[in-house]
Amino acid sequence: MAEAMASPLEPHHLLRFAATCHFIHTAVAGEVGGLRVPHLGVRALCRKVGTSFAEACRAGSLNWYRKNLTDGDAAVAALFIRHSSRLKLIHLFSNNIGAAGAALVAGALKGNNTLHILALDNNPIGDPGATSLGEALKVNMGLITLVLGSCRVGDPGAIAIGEGLQVNKGLKELFIYDNQIGDAGATALAAGVKVNTVLETLTAFSNRIGDAGAAALAEAMKKNTSITGLYLHNNTVSEAAKQALRSSCGAQVKELYL
């Protein structure tokens, strides 16, 4: 703790930093969001990712990918997200974070509007984890990029994300590729796209989207004026449905992959 407090900080951040350090050190020894975190969980996580606690508290970006992180580690990461106003980017891809860990991260997002990029791709968060993140999108307006590729997300998770897009006013990039999203999920995403005015990139290639989902997206793109990149290749869409989607896209769409 002494090392952290001795680190150079702007005066107006000092009290907030001290409170954050105290909260993290006390919270991780017990239950966080219903998930039991091992004693000294912060230090254990810092050893896994190869950084010190003080460095993590000061960081603007945390690249904690391919570190074999678990739901317990995600609980600690969520505390950093919730309490660090400096943190703008956190890469958690290619770990072992499941639905419980994703729910804790989503909960932290509800109290944070300063994190801009969250990458959770290649984690087994499934539909429950995606549903938690969809709920967070209804509240969080600071996140700009959300990466959920290869996360075992199906229609229920995509439906929750689509519902979040209907309300969200901050997200510009959504990567939800290489999942199990079918027509029901694509239709829900389309409902979000139809009313969303800030999303610029939707990447949903390598799913199970068919003609019905493509038709819903085509209708949505007739109304949407913000999306400039739409990536839907490697789905089960017929050539006729692809052509209808092409015809529906406005001049603002610069990259269209079907």
**Domains of the chain (ranges plus CATH)?**
59-257 (3.80.10.10)
| Predicted structure pTM score | 0.86
Tens digits of pLDDT across the chain (258 residues): 333 333 344 444 444 444 455 444 444 443 334 444 444 578 788 889 998 877 888 899 999 999 999 999 999 899 889 988 899 999 999 999 999 999 999 999 999 999 999 999 999 999 999 999 999 999 999 999 999 999 999 999 999 999 999 999 999 999 999 999 999 999 999 999 999 999 999 999 999 999 999 999 999 999 999 999 999 999 999 999 999 999 999 999 999 999
Q: How far is the C-alpha of 112 from the C-alpha of 53, rounded, in Å?
A: 20
- Answer yes or no: are the C-beta atoms of 95 and 119 closer than 8 Å: no
Q: Cα separations (Å) of 24 from 107, 113, 140?
A: 16, 19, 22
Task: Report the alpha-carbon distance of residue 256 to residue 258 in Å, rounded.
Answer: 6
Question: 167's torsion region: left (phi>0), alpha (psi -120 to 50) or beta?
Answer: alpha
Residue reference for tokens 């006390």: 26
